[in-house]
Amino acid sequence: MEKVEEGGLYITKKNGSRARFDLNKIRKSLSYYTHGYEKDINVDQIVNQIKLEVYEGMTTKEIKKALVMTVRALIEQDPAYSYIASRMVLSQVNEDLLKDKLDYTRIDAQYRECFTAGILKGVERGIFDERMKAFDLKRLAAALVPKRDELFMYLGTQTVYERYLVRDAEGDGNIIENFQGFWMRIAMGVALAEKELDRTTRAIEFYEAMSTLRFTPSSPTLFHAGTKHPQLSSCYLNTVGDSLENIFKVYADNAQLSKWAGGIGTNWTSVRASGSLVKKSGIKSNGIIPFLKVANDVTVAINRSGRRRGATCAYLENWHFDVEEFLELRKNTGDERRRTHDMDTALWISDLFMKRVREDGEWTLFSPDEVPELTETYGSTFENYYTRYEARAKEGKMKIVKHMKARDLWRKMVTMLYETGHPWITFKDPSNIRSPQDHVGVVHNSNLCTEITLNNSEEETAVCNLGSLNFQRLMINGKFDVDAVASTTRTAMRMLDNVIDVNFYPTIEAKRSNFRHRPVGLGLMGFHDALYMMNINFDSDEAVKFADESMELISYQAIIDSSDLARERGAYETFKGSKWDRGIFPVDTLTLLERERGMTIEGTTKQGRLDWTPVKEAVKLYVMRNSNCMAMAPTATISNIVGSVPTIEPIYKNIYVKANMNGDFIIINPYLVNDLKALNLWDFEMIGLLKYHDGSVRDIPSIPADLKDKYKEVFQIDPSWLIKSAAARGKWVDQSQSLNIYFAGTSGRELANIYEYA
């Protein structure tokens, strides 16, 4: 510290020479990074910390890293520090790309030159598709808006820098694209599905939607668009057949799907139960549990695109004889050979089971080889087969059977959910009854995140291509911008449809399914951001109303856009006979669900605000390009990138440390900070109180009651409000929603009540 003050400390420059450390240069550098945020940033505090960090012989690169680490540690004081740290990372990107040629007097021109050079280098190195260099690169470079780098906060910038920017892996390992080049590369990769003469124009359209953070495709698209192996799809859903050959084929398929960054949901219900006879070998089966252990280890072995660990979810219907052991797969005690700590599990539950729970009735477990119809039916048809098999079991005509109270099994399910978070609760009948594709198969399971509900079988692996609208960037002056939603949805639907055609498919079953049905899943994120901007509390009827009205608008637009694409490009192959073909839209399926259940769905209206006549007429006239249009994905990583609250959920905490594979990041609620600043309540004492109360404002006396209500954290909001909003939104959605239940209680009965309410 004294040597720094006295000017006697020497550092090592980039070229290896020594130079006297100069605090004035640090201040000058900081003045560049803090421009526009001067009133929120304490430069002296940063400089004083750097004095403590610097040491004799320290390199300039290490000093820059120390600056970033110092600023990121101050994010808790003000969100402005997040933008400053982001600028520092972006500066490093320029240095990585330009090295000694970096000239800040012509940085915009150099930025564009880097984009063009990166595309050409990527093609030359065999990273990018050859067709990428056929775009009008000069026009695309001119369309870049470098200023949009300023939209990123630190977590987003660091995440993109570490995990998403394309690198020359076989060369020096350095990045070959900057941030706006990243968006444009994705736009180009998706635009490869367009006619050659239109590609550059469409790429600019796609770039505009993404670079303004209004729409973001899912991570696989961000990773691989424009590359030689463009696996752009998010989710794969498959079914395991009851044979050793098919079981091991699915292991191999899942390994390939994971390798290219896909998340997987696998239906294991058809595999015979333990104790059932394997006729060819004359021995009794060990059931599904040993096979699931192998599936778990396949998941662990595969690193998705080198950027994520493998991720798989095993689904089982809860009439399967092995269900009780399935419930315990995620327990931390017991035989490790019968545990799957690295794989998610989910139950696929019929309405009949929930009726039996409500009535305190009996439930019967079977082996699927004796009841083959149960996996292929749902609703009243499933109930008829199930009761028929129950009668046969009581007559002693079934070999593998177990009778129990439905409530006893339900209690075990809820207990395991409380202890381990698994298996997830997912509902078979509404997923099938409401499916537009009920004419060509059965929805046997959902995906890794439970928002995809697509038909699958041994012959077809369902694929979904995801992207999300960012409500945070679709708000203008505290209002939801209807025109921006419409134009962004139109672009998003075109991009998602293009993904199907440019996609690299790791298995033939995936390709077959995706080209036959062409499903996409347009979702949303930043729902709570929008509520903050409108000054609406999450746990309010106004929030439920906004969920309803905003989703109706998106649904209206997405469906008419798919029909418009069909007019241009043709219908999806299995349109004939679908609900779309029969004039049945998502909101109409609530009536079908009520009819199957024999009960009214309370608390959800079946009407909307918009006139749907033009949409129905368009579909009747031009049909549909996509079998499915919407799904609410969790958006965990892409929300980090764009700086919004993930998906349809409330904010986790007002201040917390988020840990991921890129390190630890301080997250602070910028809306809370702004509101407290307006009341002159934001100071070091308030920061201390917020940290002391672990982010909660509930017990801080100086904060007004209205702000305490507005800034409730997720565990302080009754889960029923999340369910109400999901139900209001869900009636417009043709797939499903990934909905977490945040439960802070200790009562199993309370947790059961939440799921029964859902």
Which residues are tagged catalytic?
A: 447, 449, 451
Is the CA virtual torsion 683, 685, 686, 688 positive or negative? positive
The string of DSSP letters for 288-346 reads SHHHHHHHHHHHHH-EETTTEE--EEEEEETTBTTHHHHHTTT-SSS-GGG--TTSEEE
Q: Is 758 helix (H, G, I), strand (E, B) or coil?
A: coil
Nearest to 566 by CA among 500, 623, 501: 623
Alpha-carbon distance values, 196 to 192, 202, 228 (Å): 8, 10, 18
Distance CA(324)–CA(326), nearest Å, equals: 5
Distance CA(646)–CA(731), nearest Å, equals: 21
Contacts of 717 by beta carbon, 8 Å cutoff, 6+ apart: 538, 539, 650, 742
Distance CA(170)–CA(122), nearest Å, equals: 11
The string of DSSP letters for 242-257 reads SSHHHHHHHHHHHHHH
Nearest to 531 by CA among 486, 475, 482: 475
Distance CA(531)–CA(363), nearest Å, equals: 43
Q: Which residues of 57-72 are buried (b: 16+ CB within 10 A; e: fewer)?
A: ebeeeebbebbbebbb
What are 42's two structure tokens? Answer: 């304490």
Torsion from C-alpha of 69, 70, 73, 77, nearest 10 degrees: -150
In sequence order, the β-bridge partners of residue 737 are 632
Residue 650, preceding bond cis, omega within 30 degrees? no
Q: What pairing do the DSSP bridges indicate for beta strands 235-239 and 263-267? A: parallel
Query: Is 490:213 a contact under the CB 8 Å cutoff?
Result: no
Q: φ, ψ for residue 68 (rounded to 5)?
A: -60, -45
In sequence order, the β-bridge partners of residue 316 are 347
Query: Is 236:284 a contact under the CB 8 Å cutoff?
Result: no
Distance CA(5)–CA(2), nearest Å, equals: 5
Q: Terminus-to-terminus CA distance in the chain, angstroms?
A: 61
Query: Helices marked H in 459-502 — which ranges?
Result: 482-502
Distance CA(290)–CA(581), nearest Å, equals: 44
Torsion from C-alpha of 725, 729, 730, 734, nearest 10 degrees: -160
Angle made by CA atoms 561, 566, 570, in degrees to the nearest 5: 165
Q: Phi-psi category of 663—alpha, beta or left, where left has phi over 0 and alpha has psi -120 to 50? A: left
